[in-house]
Amino acid sequence: MNALIIGNVWPEPVSSAAGTRIMQLLESLQAQGYAVSFACAAGKTPYAEDLEELGVQTHNIQLNNASFDVFIKELNPDLVLFDKFVIEEQFGWRVKEQCPGALRVLETIDLHGLRKGREAALKANEAFSERHLHTDYAKRELASIYRCDLSLIISEAEMQLLQEFFKVPEAQLLYLPFMVAPITSEEQQAWKSFETRKHFVTIGNFRHEPNWLSVRYLKTEIWPLIRKQLPDAEMRVYGSYPAEKHTQLHNPKEHFYVLGRAESAHEVIEEARVLLAPLLTGAGLKGKLLDAMQCGTPAVTTSVGAEGMHGELDFNGSVVDDPKAFAEAAIALYKDKNKFAEAQANGAIIVNQRFSKEAWNSVFKKRLGDLQDNLETHRLSNFTGAMLWHQSLQASKFMSKWIEEKNK
């Protein structure tokens, strides 16, 4: 069987959780027996993963160009995975026309409508509510979910939102969180000790708006409170693609260091005693929090940050939204060896019980197999999707064709 992943960008697992997620899905498809190809219209950066080394065929494609029709018809994949809804908007209709029997899967990574709604509420200085979900992003995203045969949802909270608020049938969705190897007892014993760790850390791609807002909030509201009680501690901020507004926060006199890209997220996180993630906006699961759990590094985050991460299990640290309480929780973890050890243990339990690669690969494989075997019946039950194919996507299709003609 052949699978094609169409990416918005070439995956950079060293730069973002989104890149790590795509690599997990790619490896899962390979483990299921698919020969995987990856296609992208964006240029490659020096930090892009070498997919060819992993046995993945790579293809450069063009937006708004009929050459893609020829390419995909020749490839004739059994499954096509779009890594964002904007990619489905661009290429979904071409896939449907050229390969109508291919299973169309949408990787949402996080609900963009939810993330944008939270950003709008923050900008307006309002409490987030359901009315902030009535955005163009949410409407476009939901339309894409209905047009696809299956959408992968990374967070239980987003599954609940889609089913209860947006009324999306469960048959269109699959809860599929991060998929990682278990943390063994030997790995836990090899974690750096409380005594050998120093300072605080946070990490995140600066191109991702929630990360920038988090760092700014950390610098202005939280770090001054921590410094009063821990004057020797440092705040180390790592993140790919920092712009001038980000590096302007760098202030050695205040022990606040904006250090740019980390070659290895795990290396810088395991050196720190506590990870801080005071996220005000965002959606999906937070890769930095999973990294912290894998490194045995306790974390302090907000309710937005912890959303979907730990379920009914105890978090690997503290979840607080008030800046003063956030600082106090961070200081307590930093100073108290017993709290630190308890948080470490909680993180290992969360990873092993909620994000098992073996368990979720099996779930993913079964769902794809069931859909392949019953695709016609599944599509007949999705009348809303058929309606959207008949109406709304025609605008995207003919706009694309108009651009293509104009480019000639």
Work out the mean pLDDT of the chain and round it to a whole number. 94
Question: Given this model, what pLDDT does residue 13 score?
Answer: 87
Question: Given this model, what pLDDT does residue 205 score?
Answer: 87
Contact 317, 333 (CB under 8 A): yes
Question: Given this model, what pLDDT does residue 394 score?
Answer: 64
Question: Given this model, what pLDDT does residue 84 score?
Answer: 94
What are residue 15's phi and psi, to 5 degrees?
-105, -30
Question: Given this model, what pLDDT does residue 242 score?
Answer: 85
Three-state DSSP class for 14?
A: coil
Question: Given this model, what pLDDT does residue 396 score?
Answer: 67
Question: Given this model, what pLDDT does residue 166 score?
Answer: 95
The DSSP symbol for 52 reads: G
The DSSP symbol for 180 reads: B
pLDDT tens digits for 340-370? 999 999 999 999 999 999 999 999 999 999 9
Question: Given this model, what pLDDT does residue 393 score?
Answer: 60
Q: Which of 287, 346, 336, 283 is nearest to 311 (CA)?
A: 346
pLDDT tens digits for 281-296? 999 999 999 999 999 9
Question: Given this model, what pLDDT does residue 17 score?
Answer: 84
Contact 68, 400 (CB under 8 A): no
Question: Given this model, what pLDDT does residue 356 score?
Answer: 96
DSSP for 65-104?
-THHHHHHHHH--SEEEESSHHHHHHHHHHHHHH-TTSEE
The rounded distance, in Å, linking the Cα atoms of 285 and 17 is 9
Contact 227, 233 (CB under 8 A): yes
Mean pLDDT of the 210-221 span: 95
Take residue 371 and report the two structure tokens written for it. 């859909």
Question: Given this model, what pLDDT does residue 407 score?
Answer: 74
Give how far Cα 221 sits from Cα of 108, 214, 320, Å. 32, 10, 14
Mean pLDDT of the 175-183 span: 97
pLDDT tens digits for 237-256? 998 888 888 889 999 999 99
Take residue 210 and report the two structure tokens written for it. 């929630």
Question: Given this model, what pLDDT does residue 16 score?
Answer: 82
Question: Given this model, what pLDDT does residue 164 score?
Answer: 96
Q: With pLDDT > 90 as the criterion, what percentage of the chain qualifies?
A: 85
The rounded distance, in Å, linking the Cα atoms of 277 and 293 is 13
Q: What is the pTM of this model?
A: 0.92
Three-state DSSP class for 178?
A: coil
Question: Given this model, what pLDDT does residue 404 score?
Answer: 74
Question: Given this model, what pLDDT does residue 391 score?
Answer: 67
Q: Is the per-residue pLDDT at 392 higher than 70?
A: no
The rounded distance, in Å, linking the Cα atoms of 13 and 28 is 16
Mean pLDDT of the 150-154 span: 98
Question: Given this model, what pLDDT does residue 402 score?
Answer: 66
Mean pLDDT of the 362-379 span: 97
Question: Given this model, what pLDDT does residue 261 score?
Answer: 87
Question: Given this model, what pLDDT does residue 263 score?
Answer: 85
pLDDT tens digits for 97-109? 999 999 999 999 9
